Structure 1
Amino acid sequence: MIVPLSLFSQTLQQDLDALLAAAFKPDQPGGALLVVEGGRVVYEKAVGIVNLELDEKLTPQTNFRMASVSKQFTAMAILLLEKEGKLSFDDPLTRFFPDFAPVGAHITVGQLLTHSSGIRAYESVMPDDLQEQLSDAGVLALIKGIDNTYFEPGTAFRYSNSAYCLLALIVERTSGQSFPAYLRKRIFRPLGMKDTRVYEAGKRIKNRAYGYARDESGQLYFSDQSLTSATKGDGGVYTSLEDYLKWHLALQTNRLIDLEEALDKVNAPLPGNKGRYGAGWFFKKEDGLEMFHSGSTCGFSNMVIRIPEKGVMVAFFSNIAGNHEAFYPIFDRLRKAGILRSDIRAWHEATD
């Protein structure tokens, strides 16, 4: 339920309405915005359509592909397994993948979680003649024979999709369940996230938006899938504003795990004093915990921001690729209103 306008500035609501109207047209792919303050929904709106072929409106119940926002769910699965004593952050890669190159003995689960492993990017070794979508197992096959890293594991930060694909496989090998099944059983169902899914080739995702991109002239074209759209651990979750709110509220109440405690336990510093990374989040603690993550893929752009001590969460999902420029004016307005704390554009660009 959205709180009355008396508790949320009518001027601010009008400004957000105007900014969304400026960013998206009602008859084109668009975006959906959710603002939570003090644990209450204070603004929720979607503008645009799910597909140019179907005149179906985006709603707070529409599922968007999360891209790298998915990493927080992969990380939570690992945190749950660690809490149960089924794995350790210090476990080497070779515990789970015995045929990995010798360097795998020096790469730990914790380093995969924090992008500090130095493991090779699968995007850099994909064959030019690849015809079918790559899977997490396909990522492992591509990189397991490479006996070198970008740097000595644990000594630097380099954002890694490969790492999170391997984490999804570690979830499977540790739990004995498929990655989608584990997330359904341990996260989505317990939290009531009834429409959230992990993409599985050949399986339909209900009530979903389809992705688009813009060409050089600004014209929209269909851009829903790529050769890397089937990997799960680094970007395979689809969710809606409605379900993501349930996730946020669970994090607020430590329903699954104490996330702040986990961030203190396993994190890595970013270069240039730009904060830290842990458990699928960029975060900093200059004036209390503040965290964000973006997600970008061939047809979607997403951003989520949380300030736990204020009960603040902002989620902005769009079915247009490379669309973060549409987000920043809204974040600036929320910062001016005292809801957000940091300059999100500057923070995002510094970590991109």
Structure 2
Amino acid sequence: MRLATAIASLLLVAGVTHASTADAIRHANQLMRKYTGNVPGASLLVIKDGKPLLDRGYGMADLEHRIAATPATDYRLASVTKQFTAAAILLLAQDGRLKLDDSIRHWLPSLPAFTDKVTLAELLCHTGGLLDYEDLIPPGTTKQLTDNDVLRMIGATTHGYFPPGTAYRYSNTGFVLLGLVVEKASGLPLQDFLERRIFQPLHMDHTLLYVHDGKKVPHRAWGYSETNGQWQRTDQDLTSATRGDGGIYSNIDDLAKWDAALYDDRLLSDASRKLAFSPHAKVVGEPYLADYGYGWRITGDTLWHSGESIGFRNVIVRWPKQHLTVILLSNRNDPEPYRTVLAIAEPFLH
């Protein structure tokens, strides 16, 4: 009944014909066929004018135990996490606890001297130029990296890729360090700050920044990769325990609450949201045109971000002017869902 009621409400508000909405939903379900059946699945949410038009799971969250994916299934968000880390920094700036033009070394003094010139703002938009921690992992490493491992590795570097602020290079390093800054500025573990300042106020009751030996992920989806035509569980790798760059687990129903909060000042002020959603750097080295805000890519009328981690592929795409958002979370290494979401959204934009 939830879907039918939502559609009926939308028809009254937006004047959309039932036939056109039903056709758009059928079109979306056709595009999601690859996720259906006894295969790693996905959860899909389409929100128009604040109402969910499509809110369902496809395929399996857990192949071994034949647990189906639902709207309540929690997926590892991977780099979709970055918009929450960015929001945490903006909240602390609102609080007067830090400034965006602070040096990263001001907060993390064990970093090398050359990082004096790297600002928090530059890390937020991937123009800091710090080396990728993934390339610094010692050969033979078998234990998962922690954020403090990343801090130590960057602490031993003598240079970056380029002078800060002069170029764009996507950086997980930067967002791991920003997560550590949140801890220093707030006096709370990153997972607790996110819980208290974002998840609890928005009633995102099934969302958490996952840490080992901490809270269990509710309704957890396990990640899978296809090898020689067979799906193998590939849920964790060496870089799956870092936090600020990709450690949040959430579901589409909780992310609907996050999406709603991005239209008003219940969480972030107008000024903070403008900073997050304004272009600060031109994205290069990717197969699409985009600028980068703070934790968001900007393409035309869209604000979006993808997330890729071993066994997970996710994307959130927002059309704020049209008040449309499409979120697709999946527990598999393929396909990459961005183009699928654009195709799903197309009929809802007319």
Deviation, 1:268, is 1.9
**Local SS of the residue matching 1:334:** helix
1:279-318 alignment runs, 5 A limit: 279-284=294-299, 286=300, 289-318=301-330
- Structure 2: gaps (5+ residues): 9-16
Deviation, 1:269, is 2.5
Residue of structure 1 in register with 2:13 after alignment: none
Provide the rounded CA distance (Å) in 2 between the counterparts of 1:138 and 1:175.
21
Residue of structure 2 in register with 1:210 after alignment: 222
Deviation, 1:54, is 0.9
**Local SS of the residue matching 1:221:** strand
Confirm or deny: 8 A CA contact 2:314 2:330 kept in the other structure: yes
Provide the rounded CA distance (Å) in 2 between the counterparts of 1:173 and 1:339.
43
Judged with a 3 Å threshold, the aligned counterparts in structure 2 of structure 1 residues 302 and 319 are, in CA distance, closer, same or farther, namely same
Could you tell me the TM-score, scaled by structure 1's length? 0.90
Residue of structure 2 in register with 1:101 after alignment: 112
Judged with a 3 Å threshold, the aligned counterparts in structure 2 of structure 1 residues 77 and 127 are, in CA distance, closer, same or farther, namely same
Deviation, 1:264, is 6.1
Please report the RMSD computed on the Cα atoms of aligned residues, expressed in angstroms: 1.9
Over the matched positions of the two proteins, sequence identity in percent amounts to 35
- 1:269-303 residue CA offsets vs partner (Å, 9 max, x unmatched): 3349933212210014x4xx421100011110001
Deviation, 1:29, is 1.2
Judged with a 3 Å threshold, the aligned counterparts in structure 2 of structure 1 residues 234 and 330 are, in CA distance, closer, same or farther, namely closer
Confirm or deny: 8 A CA contact 1:63 1:208 kept in the other structure: yes
Residue of structure 2 in register with 1:27 after alignment: 38
Which among 71, 81, 98 is matched to residue 92 of structure 2?
Answer: 81
Which among 17, 23, 27 is matched to residue 15 of structure 1?
Answer: 27
- 1:25-57 residue CA offsets vs partner (Å, 9 max, x unmatched): 322211111011122111112111111111211
**Local SS of the residue matching 2:232:** strand
Provide the rounded CA distance (Å) in 1 between the counterparts of 2:312 and 2:149.
23
- Structure 1: gaps (5+ residues): 341-352
**Local SS of the residue matching 2:66:** strand
Q: Does structure 1 residue 65 correspond to structure 2 residue 80?
A: no
What is the identity, as a one-letter code, of the residue corresponding to 1:176? G
Which among 12, 34, 38 is matched to residue 49 of structure 2?
Answer: 38
Residue of structure 2 in register with 1:188 after alignment: 199
Q: Does structure 1 residue 169 correspond to structure 2 residue 172?
A: no
Q: Which stretch of the first structure deviates more once superposed, 130-139 or 117-126? A: 130-139
Confirm or deny: 8 A CA contact 1:110 1:266 kept in the other structure: no
**Local SS of the residue matching 1:41:** strand
Confirm or deny: 8 A CA contact 2:326 2:341 kept in the other structure: no
Residue of structure 2 in register with 1:47 after alignment: 58
Residue of structure 2 in register with 1:153 after alignment: 164
Which among 1, 7, 19 is matched to residue 4 of structure 1?
Answer: 7
- 1:98-125 residue CA offsets vs partner (Å, 9 max, x unmatched): 2211111010000110100000000011
Provide the rounded CA distance (Å) in 1 between the counterparts of 2:262 and 2:319.
11
What is the identity, as a one-letter code, of the residue corresponding to 1:96? W
Confirm or deny: 8 A CA contact 1:37 1:339 kept in the other structure: no
